[in-house]
Amino acid sequence: MMHLPRSKRSAVAGFTLIEALIAATLMGMVLIAMGAITAQWLPSWNRGFMRVQRSELFAVALNRLASDLAASEFVTPNRESKLPIFEGTASAVTLVRSAVGPNTEGGLEVVRMAEATDRQGIALLRMRAPFAPFGLGEVSADQLSFTDPVVLLRAPFRVSFSYSSGDGSWSDTWRNAGQLPSVVRFLVRDSTTGRTLAISSAAIVHVELPADCVGGASQACGSQSSPAAGGAASPTANNPASPAASDAASPAGGPVDFPTNNSTASRDAARGFSR
């Protein structure tokens, strides 16, 4: 029987059993090390991703709240009513603004931002309904059928609203007032810890009085009351520092500014909150 030379036999030979075991051991050690590293950074990556996603959701929700509140318009439900459509509580706001969003027609819409409960818990929803003049008699936004619910925030985060007429005082409700609030503050808090988040903010309403109040054309403008002040006179009444009072006292034919909430009191109230 012929035997191949040793040099030729080693050229065609494979791994030995010891070499295969060493290679498998090294591969297992590498895989274990990679798994340990992945197990350490993957949860941190997930937490960071969730924080970024939550920050983006907060930004979208707060921008939507501020835009809707700032765009509130003084619109009465019918020709007989002198009070605007604006109902504010600590957990819900109903207002009228220009229609905005995809697939919307021009005109006005009634927007309601309120808390509701679904399978996932409590959520702050934004709903809307097209505006149409109400019938005569008792008027309430509850008569409307709101559609297109959009979730702005979910539990454990809750939003509470408060309202100010620009005099520095705040109230949890704003109803049956002759004017819109000057500033609306919304506080975001974590219901699990009760801590108010730093992302809380306030929105300044652009127009708070009807157009008839320009230049003091309406006698009712000086007697409107603010629910936030506990029935006290409106901040634009009997206040020489307010734009409406200065316009009423200016000579006939002088320049007239449209009444907005850009008074010193409103700006001070907003700045005081931001500090």
Amino acid at position 46, single letter: N
Min mean pLDDT across 61-70, 90-99, 194-203 is at 194-203
Mean pLDDT of 13-31: 86
Mean pLDDT of 37-56: 82
CA distance 263 to 183: 11
Tokens coding 242: 């307010």
CA angle at residue 101 from 97 to 103, to 5 degrees?
A: 120
Nearest by Cα to 68 from 184, 224, 173, 176: 184
Min mean pLDDT across 169-178, 188-197, 215-224, 259-268 is at 259-268
CA angle at residue 229 from 272 to 159, to 5 degrees?
A: 60
pLDDT at 267 over 70: no
What is the pLDDT at residue 271? 39
Mean pLDDT of 20-48: 86
Contact 208, 181 (CB under 8 A): yes
Min mean pLDDT across 6-20, 29-43, 104-118, 158-172 is at 6-20
Mean pLDDT of 205-217: 72
CA distance 273 to 128: 29
Of 267 and 119, the structure prediction assigns the larger pLDDT to 119
CA distance 116 to 198: 24
CA distance 217 to 213: 5
CA distance 196 to 199: 9
Contact 202, 247 (CB under 8 A): no
Is there a cis peptide before residue 43, judged by omega within 30 degrees of 0?
no
- Which helix (H) or strand (E) segment holds residue 56: the answer is helix 17-70
What is the pLDDT at residue 275? 36
The pTM assigned to this predicted structure is 0.63
77-89 pLDDT, tens per residue? 888 888 899 999 9
Bridge partners, 94 (sequence order) = 87, 112
User: In the chain, where are the structural domains located?
Assistant: 54-133+142-163+172-179
Euclidean distance between the first and final Cα of the chain, in Å? Answer: 100
Min mean pLDDT across 53-57, 187-191, 199-203, 240-244 is at 240-244
How distant is the alpha carbon of residue 182 from its chain centre? 17
Collapse the DSSP code of 275 into the 3-class scheme (helix H, G, I; strand E, B; otherwise coil) and give the result. coil
238-247 pLDDT, tens per residue? 343 333 333 4
